[in-house]
Amino acid sequence: MITTDILQQLAKTHGTPLFVIDHEELLCNYEMFKKNLPRVQAYYAVKANPDPAIVKTLFNAGASFDVSSIAEFESVYENIKDLPEQEQHDWIWNNIIYANPIKAEETLQVLDKYQPLLTFDNSEEVVKMSQHAPNSRVVLRLRVSNAGAMVELSSKFGAAHEEALDLIFEAINAGLTVAGLSFHVGSQTTNFENYMQAINLAALIFKEVKARGYDQMNLLDIGGGFPAPYDESVKPFSELAKRINTELDRLISPDIKIIAEPGRFIAATAATAVSKIIGKAVRHGKLCYYIDDGVYHTFSGVIFDHCQYHFDAFKTGPTQICTVFGPTCDGLDVISMTEELPSNLERGDLLSSKNIGAYSAATSTYFNGFPPAKIIHVNR
Are the C-beta atoms of 167 and 126 separated by less than 8 Å? yes
Chain centroid to Cα 88, Å, comes to 25
SS3 sequence, 99-158? Answer: CCCCCCHHHHHHHCCCCCEEEECCHHHHHHHHHHCCCCEEEEEECCCCCCEEECCCCCCC
**Which is the catalytic residue, given 28, 288, 307, 329?**
329
C-alpha–C-alpha distance, residues 300 and 375, integer Å: 15
Handedness of CA 335, 341, 343, 344 (dihedral sign): negative
For residues 373 and 273, the answer to whether their CB atoms sit within 8 Å is: yes
Q: How far apart are CA 112 and CA 177, in angstroms?
A: 13
Q: What is the C-alpha separation between 277 and 273, in angstroms, rounded?
A: 13
Our CA dihedral for 94, 98, 103, 109, rounded to 10 degrees, sits at: -30
Nearest Cα residue to 306 out of 152, 166, 97, 180: 152
CB-based contact 150:307 (threshold 8 Å): yes
Q: What SS3 state is found at 235?
A: coil
Backbone angles phi, psi at 351, to 5 degrees: -125, 150
| Gap between the Cα atoms of 264 and 47, Å rounded | 9
Q: How far apart are CA 116 and CA 175, in angstroms?
A: 16
Q: Among this protein's residues, is 307 annotated catalytic?
A: no
Residue 50: cis peptide before it, omega within 30 degrees of 0: no
**Helix or strand holding residue 197 (H, E):** helix 193-211
Containing 75, the helix (H) or strand (E) segment is helix 70-77
Catalytic residues: 329
